[in-house]
Amino acid sequence: MTADPPAGQDRRLTRHADVRAVLADPRFLVPAAPAAQPVAVRPGTGMAWLRGAVSRFSNGAEHTRRRARAVGLLDALDPARLRREAYDRTRAELAGQARVEVMTRIARRVPVGVLATRLGVPEEWREEVVAAVTAMAAAYHLPLAADASPTGDAADAAVGVLGAALGVALGEGEAPEPGLLAAVAGVLIQACDATAGLVGNALAAVTRMPADPALRWPVEVLLAETLRWDPPVRLTRRVAAEDAMAGTVPVPAGAVLVLDLAAAKRDPEVFPDPHRFDPSRFDPARFRQGRGGGGGHLGFGDGLRPCPGERAALALAAGIVEAALGHRLADPEIPYEPSPNLRVPARLCLQDPERLQAPTNCRTRESAEGPR
């Protein structure tokens, strides 16, 4: 489904079949990095360099080479270990607390921290690198002009923090070669907000379900249905390199397409009764064996350049959600971060039903409320 847009606006595709067709068609490219204007950049420093060096904003042979490097890093990870570490760290955050604010305490800190240490960041740099990755992720998709803002400065400095942390792991006085820094940064940044959204949206959905254990679904299908029903990544873009068909729709060269992943996941031609949260759509046996392949939910993209972090993201999110099962939402009103393409809760407070008599403030900060 698409409409001719008013002048200056992008075309939006919402049909599942059209979105899949475009994602599989090599005539549709990823738009250039926001920092594509000529700027003086020193390799290995700052966001303008980083955006120009990651796989996410590149095409063709350059994309193939950079993506292979990211895939190499991710393939070396053991999903069972990621899941166990995410579970243990989440349990430690929740232990003894009546209420915990998940988005500040867990949703980024746990997955990014676990991934960073598995990718070579020394344990003592973990928290600093989590903060650095969070700053880089916030600036990743912003236009270059935003680099003049304090956010841009903080993100530029954050690239240096990650470089320094990886340098410590390499040895005295070493700096990671720029290609390695770009690959590790690209992986951690992609993991940061999207996984936080998956964790937050899954917990929001799960904690609203009836508490009856008979209705308890395997965490794998809860995540699959969250990715369909309330996906953290709502849209992505492609630009037509030549005149082409977007599914059944002709698109002129140069036109930018907005692929509305969230709408496609509620396409009634593919998902009957699409607005209902219903984990039974997904077969637990397939997902338990790691053969889910997304079940058509498009949560991790599709076609020529799907998310290479799917296995890691699902392992980390499964560990976190599993550790929080049994907790309830302390406040049903969930505010969301302002974002054109992501849906990530800004605040999500969980409470332990067995500690309802305890003080009711939501644990958000270390200093005021005791050790981790």
Per CB under 6 A, does 195 bind ligand HEM?
yes
**Which amino acid is located at 47 in the chain?**
M
Per CB under 6 A, does 320 bind ligand HEM?
no
Per CB under 6 A, does 67 bind ligand HEM?
yes
What is the CA 140 to chain-centroid distance, rounded?
Answer: 13
Smallest distance from the beta carbon of 298 to ligand HEM, in angstroms?
Answer: 8
Fill in the per-residue mask, 267 to 306: x = in contact with ligand HEM (CB under 6 A), - = not in contact.
--------------------------------xxx---x-
Which residues are 215's β-sheet partners?
none
Residue placing its CB nearer to ligand HEM in the complex, 102 or 312: 312
Per CB under 6 A, does 235 bind ligand HEM?
no
Q: Give the residue, chosen from 313, 349, 350, 362, that forms a contact with ligand HEM under the rule CB under 6 A.
A: 313
What 3-state class would DSSP assign to 324?
A: helix
Smallest distance from the beta carbon of 84 to ligand HEM, in angstroms?
Answer: 15
Report how far residue 3's alpha carbon sits from residue 28's, in angstroms, rounded to the nearest whole number.
18
Per CB under 6 A, does 34 bind ligand HEM?
no
Per CB under 6 A, does 345 bind ligand HEM?
no
Q: Give the residue, chosen from 14, 134, 207, 236, that forms a contact with ligand HEM under the rule CB under 6 A.
A: 236
Fill in the per-residue mask, 116 to 155: x = in contact with ligand HEM (CB under 6 A), - = not in contact.
----------------------------------------
Cα pseudo-dihedral 126, 127, 132, 138, rounded to 10: 120
Per CB under 6 A, does 56 bind ligand HEM?
yes
**Which amino acid is located at 39 in the chain?**
V
Cβ of 280: how many Cβ atoms within 10 Å? 9
What 3-state class would DSSP assign to 302?
A: coil
Report how far residue 111's alpha carbon sits from residue 232's, in angstroms, rounded to the nearest whole number.
15
**DSSP notation for 260-299:** EHHHHTT-TTTSSSTTS--GGGS-HHHHHTT--GGGG--T
Give the residue ranges of DSSP H helices in 6-107: 16-23, 46-53, 60-75, 79-94, 102
Smallest distance from the beta carbon of 235 to ligand HEM, in angstroms?
Answer: 9
**Binding region for ligand HEM (CB under 6 A):** 30, 55-56, 67, 70, 74, 115, 186-187, 190-191, 194-195, 198, 227, 231-233, 236, 299-301, 305, 307-309, 312-313, 316
